[in-house]
Amino acid sequence: MTTFLLVLTVIFTDSSKTTPLFVPSDAFSSPRRYGLTKAMVEQLDTDMTNAKAAREMVDEGMSECATAEPAPPGDIEDTATILELTTGWNTEQHYVTTLARVKRSNGDETLLELPFGSMQIGRSTWCTGTDRLKAGDTIAFTAFQGVSQPERLIGTLVKR
């Protein structure tokens, strides 16, 4: 099962660009395994450092985790059981995000990106939000279809 998620999350790309959209946290320690060049890793590091500096300027007290912008309600509302989770960097939104392979209420398996998670890179801990989930959890969510390869839903948890 883990191999399945690994293959799907190698690097998300926008169908009209070559820039990765989602970079799994493992890619920072094994960039070649994920097809990342040294220049891409350096650019990601610069983007992450700039995002952190911008956040520090806005929030002098710096809470433990960044807060993701509230997502608009999606046109898809469903429940799902989480099969697998991986955390990574959303290069467009500049925050840590979680990608879940879920089994939806109709039995279909799909990828669902949620705006929270945490990852450790070197001495830096990156995190967004405080939600914590694990495989086997059942969730209710609202989402919209993201434009990427492979396809994924971009969602927000519905508070229970």
Give CA–CA dist 3/107, Å, rounded. Answer: 20
CATH of the domain at 125: 2.40.50
Report pLDDT digits (tens) over 93-117. 888 999 999 999 999 999 999 988 9
Instruction: List pLDDT tens digits, range 27-72.
Output: 888 888 888 888 988 999 899 988 888 887 776 655 677 777 777 7
Q: Kindly report the number of other CB atoms within 10 A of residue 133's CB atom.
A: 16
Q: Are strands 109-114 and 152-157 parallel, antiparallel or unpaired?
A: parallel
Q: Look at the chain and report how many structural domains it folds into.
A: 1
3-state secondary structure of 104: strand
Residue 97 domain boundaries: 2-157
